[in-house]
Amino acid sequence: MLLLHGLWMPGLSMGWMARRLRREGFATSVFAYPGAMAGPRIVLPALSARLRQADAVVAHSLGGLMTLEALRRDGFPDVARVVCLGSPLCGSGAARGLRTHLATGWALGRAAALLRRGCMPWEGPAEVGVVAGTRAIGFGRWFARFDGPSDGTVAVAETRLAGLADHCLVDASHSGLLFSEAAASQAVHFLRQGRFGPDAAVAARMQARRPV
């Protein structure tokens, strides 16, 4: 199984999740890449080489977009399931907002275009599930107006790409998804079953009833 980190995070940021998955019996390997300094043109060929040896992926934030782009482009039928943690697969409002701020617009680097536009609706053979956070603590609130629940950086609506096998909500911030027991448990359930666990359905109903 291959693990991918997000935009400004090092490969070590996936360490807790990797250990948690290994305790469940999964063999893990981390694909570390220069998130902001290298865009898809540079990252995707290297990622594709690693995906040839993977049967599943767990990816945080930008890592999820990179993964789906690589799978869409090159196939990889052996990759059966992908879990995206807080990935703005439909495009990031915060990333689009950053574009108008001269002091911070550079921060997205060569990944800016992918983050702003997101991915095409998923039609590949791999089952893709998204774990989205609902604890609104993060920098994204400074650059985007979230009309619904968010993890503080990515809106839940931005994670609901057409073609997903499943989607669930957990009480975690964007970076907190990397250390969330609930997120890890749901990732394990999806990797084994192709669907999230029953707690996800309960959380979704509770979130739907919560006032915006």
CA distance 112 to 143: 14
| C-alpha span between 84 and 68 (Å, rounded) | 10
Residue with tokens 């807080």, as numbered in its chain:
86
pLDDT band at 29 (very low <50, low <70, confident <90, very high): very high
What token pair was written down for 30? 């981390």
Helix (H, G, I), strand (E, B) or coil at 44: helix
Chain segment 155-208, per-residue pLDDT in tens:
999 999 999 999 999 999 999 999 999 999 999 999 999 999 986 544 454 444
